[in-house]
Amino acid sequence: MKQKIQDKFASLYGEGGVLYASAGRINLIGEHTDYNGGYVFPGAIDKGIMAKLKVNGTSKVRAYSLDYNEEVEFGLNEEDAPSQSWARYIFGVCRETAKRGGKVEGFDTVFAGDVPLGAGLSSSAALESCFAFAINDIFSNDFNLFELAKIGQSTEHNYCGVKCGIMDQFASCFGKQGCLIRLNCKTLEYKYFPFDPEAHGYKLVLIDSCVKHELASSAYNKRRESCERAARAIAKLHPEVEYLSDAKRVWLEEVRTQISEEDFLRAEYVIGEVQRVLDVCDALERNDYETAGEMMYQTHFGMSRLYEVSCEELDFLNRIARKCDVSGSRVMGGGFGGCTINLVKKELYDNFISVARARFTEQFGHEPKVYDVVISDGARRAE
Ligand code: GLA
């Protein structure tokens, strides 16, 4: 990938330029908790985006996507938004940098990525973080990593229509090889946890259903609205509740008749999930992978039945995992398709993968994909 980027850059834009890289992410547990002010527990992975950038002395950006074999040129004012969705991410990052007082002028760039699209591994956050980091560097702005993550998040909100939380961009910016990161999304306090399942006889593996259901972003935004309604109802009785994650389970009961059944179920899932992140971190500190795994199954149940962001294919993969004695398994990321994340004892790995492949293919007519998880570094210079 690096060589292809170098070659294309040289042929289109000549000498010079600096290479940057950023990463997709996994999340061990803590799903749909970020925009509720709760905890998440992600890590960056060895699949990401790489881009070469060079200031070009004009007021235009010339960007070439190697994956789409397409070049787009755009200006840096609000009305210059390109129509290609991949280019809107870069444009959004430029705009959000400028809105925060950062310097952004014209530049040339060639980029490519190897994060599977639609797999729930945050290819978009990888793209945003790569460019947020790179633009900060080439124009000598001094935004810190949190500000860069927020530039990516605001790009999603304002240029891509997804009212996402901070998890993906945070993981993509702060990722560190061999570590998961527990982030409190309300206070932004975070802690690195060395994570080496292999040393304890386990493997972490993703099974990609290769399905992406329509309307995922509007369904995502609706989940967020449900949570905000529930939090507002609880806050009337308990003013200290700013986010749903501040609420106790019994407080949710108190407003049961004031909110819809649907909002109640969504909130019930989130309050349980916030606690599960803490429980998993405690379990891992004791090297208790079985308890961590059991929590993952509970999360799957919640995401499927209460939060309703799973789908037939992912529920199927989850059941197969149970049958194959996999220690933990659940839908990962926003949901509505993508991957399950699975914590499996090494000696059960081969059987699980072959059974999952065969049964899934028989049932749905296409093979799932399998990715071993390698926890890696986040946004950085790549030279
Ligand atoms: C998507 C969003 C994140 C987070 C997850 C669910 O990946 O971008 O902010 O809400 O879904 O945990």
Sign of CA dihedral 302, 308, 313, 314: negative
* Strand arrangement of the beta sheet that strand 39-40 belongs to: 39-40, 179-184, 190-194
CA 129, distance to chain mean position in Å, is 11
Task: Assess contact for 180 and 195: CB atoms under 8 A.
Answer: yes
Cα of 238 vs centre of ligand 1, distance in Å, is 27
CA dihedral 362, 366, 370, 376 (to 10 degrees): -150
Query: Is any atom of ligand 1 closer than 6 Å to the C-beta of 34?
Result: yes
CA distance 135 to 137: 5
Which two structure tokens, joined as six digits, stand for 304?
A: 């499927």
CA distance 311 to 142: 43
pLDDT in tens, the chain (383 residues): 999 999 999 999 999 999 999 999 999 999 999 999 999 999 999 999 999 999 999 999 999 999 999 999 999 999 999 999 999 999 999 999 999 999 999 999 999 999 988 888 999 999 999 999 999 999 999 999 999 999 999 999 999 989 999 999 999 999 999 999 999 999 999 999 999 999 999 999 999 999 987 667 889 999 999 999 999 999 999 999 999 999 999 999 999 999 999 999 999 999 999 999 999 999 999 999 999 999 999 999 999 999 999 999 999 999 999 999 999 999 999 999 999 999 999 999 999 999 999 999 999 999 999 999 999 999 999 97
Cα of 187 vs centre of ligand 1, distance in Å, is 18
> What's the CATH number of domain 198-372, 3.30.70.890, 3.40.50.300, 3.20.20.80, 3.40.50.450?
3.30.70.890
pLDDT of the residue at 217: 80
Q: Which residues contact 70 (CB under 8 A, 6 or more apart)?
A: 64, 84, 86
Supply the residue whose CA is at minimum distance from atom 1 of ligand 1.
334
Q: Which helix (H) or strand (E) covers residue 173, if one does?
A: helix 167-174
Which ligand 1 atom is at minimum distance from the Cα of 34?
A: 10
Task: Assess contact for 230 and 267: CB atoms under 8 A.
Answer: yes
Active site residue 279: no
Which ligand 1 atom is at minimum distance from the Cα of 124?
A: 8
Which ligand 1 atom is at minimum distance from the Cα of 33?
A: 12
CA distance 131 to 92: 10
Supply the residue whose CA is at minimum distance from atom 11 of ligand 1.
334
Supply the DSSP symbol for 304: I
Phi/psi zone of residue 32: left (φ > 0), alpha (ψ -120 to 50 degrees), beta? left
Buried-state track 15-40, b at ≥16 Cβ within 10 A, e below 16: eebebbbbbbbbbbbbbbbbbbbbbb
pLDDT of the residue at 215: 62
Length of the chain: 383
pLDDT of the residue at 214: 63
Q: How many CB atoms lie within 10 A of CB 203?
A: 18
Q: Could you state, in order of their start, the residue ranges of all structural domains in the chain? A: 2-195+377-381, 198-372
Architecture per CATH, 2-195+377-381: 2-Layer Sandwich (3.30)
Cα of 28 vs centre of ligand 1, distance in Å, is 13
